[in-house]
Structure 1
Amino acid sequence: MSGISLACWAPMVPFAKTRLGLDEAHLGMVLLAMGCGSLASMPLAGFLSHRFGNRRVIGIGALSVCLFMPWLTLAPTAWMLAIALFCFGASHGVVDVAMNAHAVDVERMSGGGIMSGFHGLFSTGGLVGSAGMSLLLAAGAPLLACAVVLAIVLAVLTVSQWKNFLEHAQAEDAKKHTIFAWPSTAVILLGVLCCISFLAEGAMLDWSAVFLRSSRQVGYDMAGLGYAAFSIAMAVGRLSGDFLVRRFGAVNMVRWGAVTASLGFFIATCLPWAGSSLFGFLLVGIGAANIVPVLFSAAGRQGGSAPGIAIATVTTLGYTGMLTGPAAIGYAAHATSLPLALSAIAVLLLGVAALAPMARR
């Protein structure tokens, strides 16, 4: 549900840009509203999950996402779109924290590493959402109708799975920590690395369609294929990630994944063809696929913080990159160019590769 609904926004961005007559800088400011909503709700989500259990928080948060999704196609002004994005982002923030905490509980109960598989299903949702929206638009369906249909499907999916979520499954040692304790330095550093990786994902979500449309002259109906290619690679990489991590080790997965993602950004922005850009976005997905799941698992193993606090910290810092980074990209694109702004992410990813040994701790 989370992956599909978030990916549905990617093909909507060029429509919003054209409908409201926004340049890159103003669009970046509007996109910032989604990040503000998520970051405002994430600390509250940790408390709500602790107080009421993951089942209620995930379910109610997911239904809220479905409720706000059609708003994104109706906003008549930039301010109204910003408000809709704030509410949409806040609902997503609640779901993101609760579902990752839920995944840590399930991973602990299963006795094996399965975090990449969970994130792989998020990426699968990203593929379904972006491809589904592109197909509906190509068939001539109005944008509002596309959003309403997918919101109804996701609401049915949420209600049908509600009873299968866990309430509370915290380990005994985790209960010894107060929920308000300050996270350890190692957890904060892992969160910073997640922030950069999520920044790359956020750039794909909010700017891949705009880049293909404005810099590679791809049609509106096909502009969502950039995020679709990225999501395909993410899904395949994450669904096979648990095996790959066991085979090559966590440090190598982070190091070479970051290098591959960096190369993908350079190829997408430096070569002038639409096909090469799609290939570059594919490499970004392959490289970034398992960086975040590995770092999340590393955070959950830290001894200086309760698992819930560690996950909340890494999630919040990570989504700071995903949700506020695109606004910074918008300003950088306005001051220079969109290809150059996206190339800067490649440099940051090389920094993640240099700090990959953090995943071992």
Structure 2
Amino acid sequence: MSLEDKELMQFKVGKKEQYAARMAFFIPGFAISTWAPMIPMIKERLHIEADILGLLLLCIGISAFIVIPIGGLLGKKFGCKKVMVTTGSLFAIVLVALSCLPNVWSYAICLILVGAIMGCTEVCMNINAVVVEKLSQKRMMSSMHGFWSVGCFCSAGLFNILAKMGLDVFFIAIIHCLIILAIVIFFGRYFLDYKSANSESAIAIPKGIVVLFGILACVSFLGEGAIMDWGGVFLAEVKDVELSLAGVGYAVFSVAMLIMRLIGDKVVQFLGEEKAVVLGSSLAGLGFLWIIIIDNFYLMLVGFILLGLGAANIVPVLYSLLQYQKDMPINVAVTAVTCMGYTGVILGPAILGFIAQGIGIISVFYLLMILFIVQVVMAKYVFNRLK
């Protein structure tokens, strides 16, 4: 028995720890979707142009990307529980600050903090999830990731209701803050206080099969980021869809992904992990091809549904599989895969933008289709390695 396995044996996982692991994903989803509706209000209040707003939003992504390795180090030193309780509480407080800061520079500083909180949270909540799933000996990862989306939907819906009631954004932020703090207080005690006993650095460079896990995660995150950032542009510029309808594709994609993740554990259990990843990647590739070749708007939405259904369980399954690899300790492997995956979310859409400028956005969607086909081949190789 390895040192890591001996350390895991000290934890007892039951229903409370399982629910808490899901709520760990709910919190950042809820927090980020509280910030999103504030953006147009802040833009208007500060009288800033789109380029300045873009730079402000970039502060979140860059900060998160930089801090992810540090999040793994903090988790190793202080334990996942302390980090998640701290970041969850900070998330709640910073939302109130975001609703009432006085100028652009204060927002830049605050959004850098938001990115740092997000980076630490991403690593530790996934480490906690992997350990909880391993000790539970049952599939849970897909529904955990699904709770991120549940948090997003709950937050957006509540924000909209409170705004229609006439509440100022400051008071809405306070209500959302109190909800997050209540969740942290109630569920935080059931987060696992996991620290790796392994002497290897938590910011070690990925090695062995973990590199392949990271590449697969990067492709999946790249696909998600591309639909979010470029799906509407593709519909408007290539398919001549009205601007008012351009965002429907991403909405349909998001709902399909949410539904599939909530039922994903049963789907993966039925299909098996290998078929879930291979079929998921194939469906996502087919979705991109469908969007490219179909011109009818309503039929095109089928492609976005295929993308959501296909991509939904790839990343959760990859995180689940990290418990079986022996090349790196769990906490280090999760940190490495999260960092590589975030490359697809943060840098990917920008790189795709340069490609679109050079050879056209339709070529970008063909490229994404090819990447998911390559992912099918890579996934088969990874599963053969694991066997």
What is the TM-score of this pair, normalised by structure 2? 0.75
**Residue 120 of structure 2: which of 73, 90, 94 is its match?**
94
Structure 2 gap ranges (5+): 1-26
CA RMSD of aligned residues (A): 3.7
Judge conservation of contact 2:83–2:120 (CA < 8 Å) in 1: yes
Paired position in structure 2 for 1:246:
269
Q: CA deviation at 1:229?
A: 3.0
Q: Distance in 1 between matches of 2:166 and 2:289?
A: 34
In the aligned structure 2, how far is the partner of 1:97 from the partner of 1:197?
A: 17
Measure the CA separation in 1 of the matches of 2:321 and 2:296: 39
Aligned to 2:10: none
**More RCO (CA 8 Å, sep 6+):** 1
Instruction: Indicate the residue corresponding to 2:226 in structure 1.
Output: 203
SS in 2 for 1:260: helix
Correspondent of 1:59 among 85, 89, 98: 85
Pairing partner for 1:289 from 282, 290, 312: 312
2-side partners of 1:42 and 1:285: how far apart?
A: 26
* Counterpart AA for 2:50: L
* SS of alignment partner, residue 322 of structure 2: helix
Instruction: Please tell me whether residue 22 in structure 1 is matched to residue 50 in structure 2.
Output: yes
1:96: Cα distance to partner?
A: 0.7
Partners of 2:275 and 2:250 lie apart in 1 by 26
Aligned pair in 2 of structure 1 residues 233, 270: CA closer, same or farther (>3 Å)? same
Change in CA separation of 1:328 and 1:183 when aligned onto 2, cut-off 3 Å? closer
What are structure 1's unaligned runs of at least 5 residues? none
CA distance, structure 1, for counterparts of residue 311 and residue 125 of structure 2: 20
Bigger mean CA deviation after superposition, 305-314 or 245-254: 245-254
**Equivalence for 2:329:** 306
CA distance in 2, matches of 1:268, 1:75: 41
Q: Quick one: distance in 1 between partners of 2:68 and 2:350?
A: 19
Partner of 2:150: 124
In structure 1, the partner of 2:345 is 322
Alignment-derived partner of residue 3 in structure 2: none
**Other-structure match for 2:4:** none
Partner Cα distance (1:91, 1:31) in 2: 15
Distance change in 2, residues 1:281/1:149 (3 Å) = farther
Structure 1 position 38 matched with structure 2 position 61:
no
Q: Which residue of 1 aligns with 2:182?
A: 156
Is the CA contact (8 Å cut-off) linking 2:133 and 2:320 kept in structure 1? no
Contact kept? 2:212, 2:382, Cα under 8 Å:
no
Counterpart for residue 11 of structure 2: none
The whole-number CA distance in structure 2 between the counterparts of 1:223 and 1:144 is 30
SS in 1 for 2:138: coil
What is the DSSP-based 3-state SS (H/G/I as helix, E as strand, rest coil) of the residue aligned with 1:113? coil
Query: Is this contact kept in 2: 1:127–1:228, CA < 8 A?
Result: no
Q: Which 10-residue stretch deviates more, 5-14 or 110-119? A: 5-14
Tell me, yes or no, if the aligned pair for 2:63 and 2:115 is still in contact at 8 Å: yes
The answer to whether structure 1 residue 229 and structure 2 residue 257 are counterparts is: no
Q: Does 1:193 align with 2:221?
A: no
Kindly tell me: are residues 22 and 59 of structure 1, through their superposed partners in 2, closer, same or farther at Cα, counting changes over 3 Å?
same
Residues 37-91 of structure 1: CA distance to partner in whole angstroms, max 9, x if unpaired? 1122111111111111111101111222333346667788877665444322221
Q: CA, structure 1 residues 303+238, in 2 after alignment: closer, same or farther (shift >3 Å)?
A: same
Q: Does 1:179 align with 2:204?
A: no
Once the two structures are TM-superposed, the CA of residue 261 in structure 1 deviates from its matched residue by: 2.0
Identity %: 33
Return the alpha-carbon distance in structure 2 between the equivalents of residues 357 and 88 of structure 1.
Answer: 37
Question: Which deviates more from structure 2 when the two are superposed, residues 285-294 or residues 103-112?
Answer: 103-112
Does the CA contact (< 8 Å) of 1:265 and 1:284 recur in 2? yes
- Aligned pairs, number: 353
Comparing 272-281 with 122-131, which one deviates more in the overlay? Answer: 272-281
Q: Give the AA of the match of 1:255.
A: V
Alignment partner, residue 379 of structure 2: 356
Aligned partner of 1:301: which letter? Y
Alpha-carbon distance between aligned partners in 1 of 2:267 and 2:347, rounded to the nearest angstrom:
31
Provide closer, same or farther for how the CA distance between residues 324 and 82 of structure 1 changes in structure 2, counting only shifts above 3 A: farther
**Offset of residue 314 of structure 1:** 0.7
- TM-aligned CA deviation for residue 98 of structure 1: 0.5
Q: Could you tell me which amino acid in structure 2 is paired with residue 123 of structure 1?
A: S
Counterpart CA distance in 1 for 2:137 and 2:40 is: 44
Q: Is the 8 A contact 2:134 2:323 kept in 1?
A: no
- SS of residue in 2 equivalent to 1:175: coil
Residues 262, 124 of structure 1: alpha-carbon distance in 2 compared, 3 angstrom cutoff:
farther
Larger gyration radius, structure 1 or structure 2: 2
- 1:95 Cα deviation (Å)? 0.6
